[in-house]
Amino acid sequence: MEEKISIMQKYNITYDTYEMLYKIEQEEKYKLIDKLIDQIRGKILDAGIGTGLFEEYLFRNGKMINFDLIVGIDISIKMLDELIKKRDFLKEKIELVNGDIAFAPFREKIFDYTFSFTSLFLNNDYENELNELERVTKKSIVLSILKKGLKEKMLEILQHHNATMITQNDKDAVYLIKLKNHYQNQL
């Protein structure tokens, strides 16, 4: 729990410089899965939504129309406040929840797809977080993970969840978890 408090405090302190430091890096991840995004429809969870960079990317590239609803959850209230301040134009497209991914306050299988960009594996509760994402997701989960932080235990957990690395760049690996309750030939 102390680890999560530390992460929350870090983002609550750095929220106003986050985009200056990470926007370009984050957008590189979105470009890696651009074709995948085009295939996805329905209700989406953005686990670790931060300041809404992914949603801005979707909006700028005309991809928001693919989704019935986007719900974003983040442990940092300051990051969510920054999203609201900078991306007011998205307020009718997304719903925000201040909370912990490991205790996602959502019904089972409510989202068709979940995206999580560099949010999982920031602490040692990643197995619970991944289990929660599977609990609330019907079809597939897309995870981007920093390669430099990948540990053997994390790879074992990804393997246990049948995660497949679908693409990567020099810093990140992107994994897809197709959930068993979904058709084999679809995302």
pLDDT digits (tens, 9 = 90+) for 127-184: 899 999 999 999 999 999 988 877 788 889 999 999 999 999 999 999 999 997 654 4
More confident residue, 17 or 45: 45
Q: Which residues lie closer than 8 Å to 139 by C-beta, 6 or more apart?
A: 42, 112, 113, 178, 179, 182, 186, 187
Residue 175 has a pLDDT of 95
Q: Does residue 97 lie within any of the structural domains?
A: yes
Q: Does residue 186 lie within any of the structural domains?
A: no
Q: Does residue 49 lie within any of the structural domains?
A: yes
Residue 154 has a pLDDT of 85
* Residue range 14-31: mean pLDDT, rounded: 82
Note the pLDDT tens digit of each residue in 48-76.
999 999 999 999 999 988 899 999 999 99
Residue 91 has pLDDT above 80, yes or no: no
Amino acid at 56: E
Residue 187 has pLDDT above 70, yes or no: no
Q: Does residue 117 lie within any of the structural domains?
A: yes
Q: Does residue 183 lie within any of the structural domains?
A: no
Angle at 152 between CA 150 and CA 157, to 5 degrees: 90
Note the pLDDT tens digit of each residue in 38-55.
999 999 999 999 999 999
% of the chain with per-residue pLDDT over 70: 88
Q: Does residue 136 lie within any of the structural domains?
A: yes
What phi and psi values does residue 113 have, to the nearest 5 degrees? -140, 150
Q: Does residue 184 lie within any of the structural domains?
A: no
Least Cα distance to 154 among 120, 185, 178, 117 occurs for: 120
Q: Does residue 10 lie within any of the structural domains?
A: yes
Q: Which range of residues forms the domain containing residue 6?
A: 2-178
Residue 103 has a pLDDT of 92
Residue 127 has a pLDDT of 87
Integer Cα distance of 135 and 106 in angstroms: 9
Number of domains in the chain: 1
